[in-house]
Structure 1
Amino acid sequence: MRPRLSDALRGEWTKLRTSPGAAWSVLAIAVATAGLSALAVGSVTCPCATDTMKLTLSGVQLGQAVAAVFAVVLLGGEYGTGMITVTLAALPDRVSVLAAKATLVLGLVGGAGAVGVGAAWLIGRAVLGDDLGPGAVLRPVVGSVLYLMLVALLGLGAAAVARASAAAIGVVLGLLYIGPIVTAMVSDPDWQRHLRQVLPADAGLAVQATINLDDLPVEPWHGLGVLALWTVGTLLLGAFLLHRRDA
């Protein structure tokens, strides 16, 4: 009898909930996101000319690392221990295995992200009050949660491609942190703008912006769409390679 996605989900959930570090990793996403945001908001002396909403949600830049590593280890850890052979023996439909892991990543990172981003917004509202800025709240808050979910799925896809946690983590964190640094070092403003339009972190985090939107290299939701394209492309490549290669 061909295993169904529900069977894969049940098996993946059993492995995850019996893993001693899984719950702490999910909790760390929320804590890292809210904690860094609290530090950023607490350091503000004059909010004038500052995108206070983006500053309030700046903890996402730390939470994304935790989310990515969590997702990478979910699959890459099995390659490291050899557990992947047992998983694929029990569930030969490899695409279903990847889909089940992606579903868990979406649910857990989405939940932790909602808690962390929500707490960050509440802290910002408590500290900055009216200085947090009027208007656009739903887009940056919801967009930040979606950003964390997409980054986590990007990590999962990278793990499926690389089949090694260290390599996948290096690639994803390089895209998220080294990419923006390299872009900032580009002297040509046109090239710099183009890079910010296509790199996942710069484009994706545009969803948090609430002021000077005309100066952004990419529109907020379009920027999140760029990250989504990176994520979908990586997952599709990972699914293809997972299906074609030996464990």
Structure 2
Amino acid sequence: MASATAVLRSEWTKVRSVRSTVWTLVTAFAVTVAVGGGISALVTATWGDAPPADRAMFDAAQTSFSGMFLGQLALIVFGVLVIGGEYSTGMIRSSLAAVPQRGVLLAAKVAVATALALVTGMVTSFTAFFVGQAFLGQRATTLAEEGVLRAVFGAGLYMTLITMFAMGVTTMLRSPMLSLGILMPFFFLVSSILAAVPKAKEVAQYFPDQAGARIMQAVPMGDAPYGPWGGLGIMALWVVAALAGGYLVLKKRDA
């Protein structure tokens, strides 16, 4: 029986020895910060042309996270690779032979990837915030303003949860290509499109990304029947369901 410490150490070695997984984390940071800073600079340059209603509801903190839409895709890839990489190479058989306790193996993979995603998410969210505020100039806000620290901290949690969700889905599907083929269109197209359709919006607001994104708003917007932490809680429930489903599939099916 493999010890939990040994399994964790093994999973850590796997993650840091694969360049693609490391680069996805770097990409998530770079894209989120760069796009957020660019959008913040654009807002400053075009502020005089903005309608009065938009100025009144302007959220400086959320503007800094404009790149999160793209940055989260890199973290989805990271989550998929952590789980799906071994399925695509067939190494999952060796891993299960070394660690027959499948729950321990999955928990170790999720723990290592979640820790990396959390560190990356927090560094990214705080960096994106400060870079964005630097470009916003007179329209910038501070962490001391109401709701801002929660939004920045929540952005890091959002990035972590999106990674965990991707890991759960990939464990159920057992294929990186199939997982990316479902997750990418869903978060990049389907969720956004449905959120813009009046009747479908009532359902789309409970999707993991739509609900979780509420935590990044320092200025309340929209008419969702839940607040920032409630939205993050809904996202967390999606994550729990995905991981539970992944565990059941891993436990019942052969590699």
TM-score normalised by structure 1 residue count: 0.92
> What runs of 5+ residues in structure 1 fail to find an aligned partner?
none
Shift of 1:219: 1.1
> What runs of 5+ residues in structure 2 fail to find an aligned partner?
none
State percent identity of aligned pairs.
Answer: 33
Q: Distance in 2 between matches of 1:172 and 1:181?
A: 13
Task: State the match for 1:108 in structure 2.
Answer: 116
Task: State the match for 1:199 in structure 2.
Answer: 207
Task: State the match for 2:157 in structure 1.
Answer: 146
Shift of 1:7: 1.7
Q: Distance in 2 between matches of 1:20 and 1:186?
A: 40
Q: Distance in 2 between matches of 1:135 and 1:185?
A: 28
Q: 1:214 to 1:181 in 2, by over 3 A?
A: closer
Q: Does 1:163 align with 2:174?
A: yes
Shift of 1:185: 4.7
Task: State the match for 1:52 in structure 2.
Answer: 60
Shift of 1:130: 4.3
1:40-79 mapped onto 2 (5 Å cutoff):
40-44=39-43, 45-46=46-47, 48-49=55-56, 50-79=58-87
Q: 1:223 to 1:179 in 2, by over 3 A?
A: farther
Q: Distance in 2 between matches of 1:130 and 1:205?
A: 25
Q: Aligned with 2:19: secondary structure? A: coil
Contact 1:175-1:199 at 8 Å conserved across structures: no
Shift of 1:137: 1.4
Contact 1:183-1:196 at 8 Å conserved across structures: yes
Shift of 1:106: 1.2
TM-score normalised by structure 2 residue count: 0.89
Instruction: Summarize deviations over 1:137-186 as a string: whole Å, max 9, x none.
Output: 11111111000000000010011000000111222223322233332453
Contact 1:53-1:209 at 8 Å conserved across structures: yes
One-letter code aligned to 1:186: V
Q: Distance in 1 between matches of 2:195 and 2:18?
A: 40
Q: Does 1:37 align with 2:36?
A: yes
Contact 1:76-1:163 at 8 Å conserved across structures: yes
Contact 2:60-2:133 at 8 Å conserved across structures: no
Q: Distance in 2 between matches of 1:15 and 1:246?
A: 22
Q: 1:214 to 1:114 in 2, by over 3 A?
A: same
Shift of 1:82: 0.3
Contact 1:213-1:219 at 8 Å conserved across structures: no
Q: Does 1:14 align with 2:13?
A: yes
One-letter code aligned to 2:73: A
Q: Distance in 1 between matches of 2:86 and 2:177?
A: 13
Q: Distance in 2 between matches of 1:195 and 1:85?
A: 39
